[in-house]
A and B are shown apart, each in its own frame.
Chain A
Amino acid sequence: MKDWLHSVRALVWKDLLQEWRSKDMLTAMFAFAILTLFIFNYAIELSPVNRAEIASGIIWVVIVFAGTLGLNRSFTSEQDQGCFDALVMAVPDVSAIYFGKMLTNWLVMLFVSLLILPIYSLLYNQSLFNAGFILVLVLGAWCYSAAGTLIAGMTVQTRMRDLLLPILLFPILMPVNMAVVKAAGGILAGAPLVNVQAWLVLLAAYGIIVTTVSILVFEYVIRE
C-alpha cells in the first residue's frame, strides 16, 4: 500500500509539473470555459428569479465540457512518447496510474473552476463563493474525474478517441449531472444544506463506487 501511494504521489507530481510547464490542458480548458461563459452571457437573459436555477446549469456545462478536453489530453500525453508502457512496467500496481491520473484531472478541474467562478460572478453579477456550492463542485468534479479517467484510459488506445470519449462518458455521467445541477441550484436559491442532502449523498456514493470499481478494473481496461 505504501509503494502504491508513493507511486500515485510521483505520478501526480509529474503530471502537475508537466501541465504547469506545457499548459496544454489548462489553456484549452480555460479558453473553452471563458468562451462558453461569454456566449451564455449574451444568449441568456438572467433575471433575479431564474438566476439561481440557471447558474448551476451554466457553470456545470462549462466545467463538464472543459473537463472533457482535459481528460483527452491526460492520457495522450503518455502515448506521445510511448511513456504508458514504461509506466505499466514501473508502477507496483497498474491501478496507481488510474488513481494518479484521476487525482490530477480532479485537481486541474478544480483549478479551472476556481478561475471561472470569479469571471462568472463578474459577468452575471452573482457571487458563487458559497461553501455549499463549492462542496457540490468538488464532489461533482471528483465523480466526473473518476468516471472520465477510466473511460479516457479505454478510448486513448483507439483512433476515434476524441469522438468516443464523450459518447461513452456522458451517459454514465447522467446521475452526476442531475445531482450537481439540482444540489447547486438548491444551494444558490438559498435552501439549507439539509434540503439537498440526498443529492450530496448520491454524489459521494457515485464517487466512491466508480473510483473503487475503476481501481479494480483498470488493469483489464488498458491491457491488450
Chain B
Amino acid sequence: MSLAIRQVSKSFGQHHVLNSLDLELKPGELLCLLGRNGAGKTTLLRILTGLLRPEAGSVWLENQQIDYAEPHARHDIGLVMHQPFLYEHLTGIENLRFYARLYQVADDKTALEAASARVGMQRFAHKPVRAYSRGMKQRLTIARALLHSPRILLLDEPYTGLDLQGSQTFNQLMLEQKQQGRIILMTTHDLSHALPISSRFAFLARGRVSDELTNQNLSLENIETWLAQKLAKPVSAQKGAAA
C-alpha cells in the first residue's frame, strides 16, 4: 500500500503554489516535508485530505485514485493541522467521544481514557478544553487524529506547543505507527525532534519536491547543513533544479 501524488498543481489567483508535484510514500514511512514559509506544504496536506481540490493531478492509494466523496477514503486519514479542531466548552473526553461517534469507533469511557492516556492527558481528560494550554490541546489533537486508526497520517507542525516530554511521547507514538505500516507525511521546522523518526526528508520549492534526503543515520548537523544550503539557494535556482 503506497500513497502516490501525481502531477498535482494548485494556484491561488496568479500565485502558483504547487506545480506538477510528484511524491510517493511507502507504508511504514515517515516523510518530513521541509520548505520555506509559503512553499505549499500546508496546501499539499489539504489537497491530500480532500478539503482542497487540485487544479490538476491526482492522489493514489494502493494503485487506486482516492475518491474523496467516499467516506472510507476520508476515514483513512488522520489529520493534525495548525488549528486543534477541538471544542472549547467540551472536556477532553467529550471531544474524543464526539469524534469517536462520528468515526464510529469505540466511544466507551475506557477506550477514550486509554486514548487520552496515550498522549499523557489522563489527568486532564475531564477538564474543559478552554482550560488547556496550547501544548495540552496539541496532545489531545494528536489523540483525536489517531482515534480511528487511520492508514495515512497528515501532520502539519505537530510539535507546536509540545514540551520536551510531549515531543518524546509524540515521537514514540509515530514510531509505533510506522511499525504498524502507516503512511505519515509531516511538515515541521523542528528538525531536532523530527530527525529520529523521519525516514526521508523532502524539500519543497517552487511547487515541487526539489530535493530529497534519505535518513541513513543522519546527524542533526548533516540535515541542518543540507537544509541551510537549500534555503540559501535563490528560489529561481531551485526552480531550475526541480525542472
Contact = CB atoms under 8 A, between A and B. Distances in A.
Nearest to B46: A85
Interface residues of B, number: 29
A85 B85 contact: yes
Most chain A beta-carbon neighbours within 10 Å: one of B83, B88, B102, B104: B102
B16 interface: no
Interface in B129-176: 144
Interface stretch (A16-24, A156-164, A195-203): A16-24
A47 interface: no
Interface in B60-95: 71, 74-75, 77, 79, 81-90, 94
B52 interface: yes
Most chain A beta-carbon neighbours within 10 Å: one of B50, B79, B83: B83
Contacts of A87: 102
Interface residues of A, number: 28
B53 interface: yes
Interface in A57-82: 77, 80-82
B51 A85 contact: yes
A123 interface: no
B109 interface: no
A11 B98 CA distance: 8
A82 B71 contact: no
Contacts of B104: 3, 6
A104 to B, nearest CB: 13
The dominant DSSP class at the A interface is: helix
Contacts, number: 78
Nearest to A88: B51
A3 B72 CA distance: 12
A215 interface: no
Interface string B29-65: 0000000000000000000011111000000000000
B98 A10 contact: yes
B101 interface: yes
Given A89-B74, A92-B71, A224-B52, A14 B90 contact: yes
A19 to B, nearest CB: 8
Contact of B82 (A14, A82, A223): A82
B226 interface: no
Contacts of B83: 81-83, 85
Given A13-B101, A89-B50, 18 more contacts: A3-B104, A6-B104, A10-B98, A10-B102, A18-B89, A21-B90, A81-B87, A82-B85, A83-B86, A83-B87, A85-B49, A85-B81, A86-B99, A87-B102, A89-B74, A89-B79, A90-B75, A224-B53
Interface of A: 3, 6-7, 9-11, 13-14, 17-18, 21-22, 77, 80-83, 85-93, 223-224
